[in-house]
Amino acid sequence: MMPTADRIESAFNRIGHDEPNVGTQVQTAQSALFGLTSPAAIDLRIWTSTVADQLNGTNPYHAGGLEADLMRARKELDNVRRYCAAS
């Protein structure tokens, strides 16, 4: 999970720098999380998907803001790193 977390963080760091297709980059970075069943992986996948949806404008029913969702996704990145360190 650590290499995936690093790729996700790298994609998150591109947000706000006027790079094209950042939402797609976030989705691609998180793709390795699909199929993992640990709670840390699932939570990171959910929040990373939420950020990607915000960037892509693909979830009109989500009322949250990008900044708050990104902050929560980064918290889940920290949780994954702690989970991996403890395993």
Question: What are the pLDDT digits (tens) for 8-26?
Answer: 999 999 998 888 899 999 9
Q: Are 26 and 55 in contact (CB under 8 A)?
A: yes
- C-alpha to C-alpha distance for 26 and 22, rounded to whole angstroms: 6
Q: Is 90 exceeded by the pLDDT of residue 61?
A: no
pLDDT band with cut points at 50, 70 and 90 for residue 63 = confident
- Structure tokens, 13: 């760091």
The distance from CA 30 to its chain's CA centroid, rounded to whole angstroms, is: 6
**What pLDDT score does 9 carry?**
96
**What pLDDT score does 5 carry?**
95
Q: Is 90 exceeded by the pLDDT of residue 87?
A: no
**Mean pLDDT in residue range 24-33:** 94
Number of structural domains in the chain: 1
Domain that holds residue 39: 2-86
pTM of the model: 0.91
